[in-house]
Amino acid sequence: MTHWKPVLFAVALALSTSAPATAAPTIGPGRDTPSAPAVPDCAWHPLGYRSSNVAYPDTNSQYWLLRYTVREGLTIEIDGRYPDARYASFASYDASRDSFTGPDGSPSVLTDHRIVPDRGSHNPYREHSRPGGKFTVSVTDRAAGRRNTLPLSPAGTPEGAEGTVIYRVYLPHGEIRLPKVTFLHDGHRVPVATCDDALTAGPSTSVPDTARDAAGTGPGAVPPSPTAGEPARPAFARLGGSGLYPNPDNAYVATGFDAPPAGQVLVVRGKAPTGTSGDRARPWPDPNAQVRYWSMCDNLWWGPGEVVANPMPDGTVDTGCRTDSDTRLAADGTYTYVVGREEQRTTVESVPGVTFLPLSAATPDDKHLLILRNMLADPDFAEAIQHVPVGSGPAGTAEVMGDHYPRAAYCDLASLTASGPQACPVV
């Protein structure tokens, strides 16, 4: 049994998106004293499939980026309100666009339920309360023993190095209010304006060269071997990510696959973890959930790492991602995804118990990449992707995940329609 082992996935998957080019931080008018902090042109450049469809974004999430220049004594103050959403977090990254451990051992991620509210406010991810309460997060090189802090940079980072903060929100309910940002240094407080397009991003027509290199068109990428005749059965493996802003709360398994032959579809089946549901903030951990969120996404293999996003005649977009809430489950808790062309969708969705995933309408015959995500796995959920060692092949991944391991096979669409999912064995 063969499977794809793309270097592109190992370095590009973890963010689920890549950053657009951003002007280097500069000292604005009246802020050019030696102790004033250098500030970026604006805060919260939008990321995601709508603004920059690169590096395999999850289409049910939104991302915003803030760049900074490392300087001893610098603190970045982030004043915000808890969103009403399935998940939110802040994470800081080093000059290599990797997460890291701060000099005091603190992780470079603050997940929603770990953010302590301001006095008089409440955190809906810690207790049952209305969203909108206030919080203050600091990114600083003096994080030891302080609450709501992210490390500015790893130990030994020289002044002038680049750093980044990313704000992530999954499945928001209603409007998102982006946090206010202030840079502080030696008594100077410099507010940073929110980017004009932060909440109005449209489709991007440009792809950063760094993203292209990491996503498979640049040096070092290992292309899949061409196949002849019947395509090989895909097999999922646990691959990690570095260099493109990995989210420490996520873990992934993935497989590349050839487009199904004429009249066929790709069927993927596995046991779903129990997760929280909907798009509202609720306390975590949840005694009834094994993960906070999970999804399956179909992406293009070649190029910058686009998630499938097919424009539809009615003006909507059929994206290649299905969340846990969008996925049909059988009585035993298993899912069955059927990956096919848009013209097969009506037929596929007539089959009870299956969930349709689209191939790219523009290039349906190209190789694609399936990605299964687990977010914030409960420590007692032994079959979570988080427990699979990074770099494990299909056999090792399946051994840890057990029934939760996604198994795939090509299947005749007529057989699927006539006899249901049982006509397509994936064992």
Segment 176-211, tens digit of pLDDT: 999 999 999 988 999 999 999 888 754 332 323 333
Please say which residue of 144, 165, 192 terminates a domain: 192
Please say which residue of 192, 209, 244 terminates a domain: 192
- 425 residue type, one letter: P
Whether residue 185 sits in one domain with residue 235: no
Q: What is the per-residue pLDDT for 51?
A: 67
Whether residue 274 sits in one domain with residue 178: no
Q: What is the per-residue pLDDT for 398?
A: 97
Is residue 202 one of the residues assigned to a domain? no
Average pLDDT in the 217-233 region? 50
Q: 244 pLDDT band (50/70/90 cuts)?
A: low
Q: Is the pLDDT of residue 220 over 90?
A: no
Token representation of residue 257: 């696959």
Strands 134-140 and 180-185: unpaired
Whether residue 234 sits in one domain with residue 186: no
Whether residue 188 sits in one domain with residue 257: no
Which letter, b or e, does each residue of 78-105 get, where b requires 16 or more Cβ atoms within 10 Å of its Cβ?
bebbbbbbbbbbbbbbbeebbbbebbee
* Interatomic CA distance for residues 249 and 95, integer angstroms: 20
Q: Is 217 left (phi over 0), alpha (psi -120 to 50) or beta?
A: alpha
Helix, strand or coil, per DSSP, at residue 144: coil
* Interatomic CA distance for residues 35 and 358, integer angstroms: 54
Whether residue 284 sits in one domain with residue 175: no
Whether residue 297 sits in one domain with residue 167: no
CATH classification of the domain holding 25: 2.60.120
Is residue 399 one of the residues assigned to a domain? yes
Q: What is the per-residue pLDDT for 36?
A: 64
Is residue 216 one of the residues assigned to a domain? no
Whether residue 409 sits in one domain with residue 264: yes
Is residue 200 one of the residues assigned to a domain? no
Is residue 370 one of the residues assigned to a domain? yes
Whether residue 188 sits in one domain with residue 236: no
Is residue 201 one of the residues assigned to a domain? no
Q: What is the per-residue pLDDT for 418?
A: 92
Range of the domain at 333: 230-423
Q: What are phi and psi of 216, to 5 degrees?
A: 125, -5
Is residue 373 one of the residues assigned to a domain? yes
Q: 105 pLDDT band (50/70/90 cuts)?
A: confident
Q: How many CA atoms lie within 13 A of 58 on its CB side?
A: 28
Token representation of residue 329: 């489950």
Whether residue 418 sits in one domain with residue 309: yes
Whether residue 237 sits in one domain with residue 150: no
Please say which residue of 146, 171, 192 terminates a domain: 192
Q: How many domains does the chain have?
A: 2
* Interatomic CA distance for residues 336 and 298, integer angstroms: 14
Average pLDDT in the 120-137 region? 96
Whether residue 138 sits in one domain with residue 247: no
Eight-state DSSP code of residue 213:
I
Whether residue 401 sits in one domain with residue 282: yes
Is residue 237 one of the residues assigned to a domain? yes
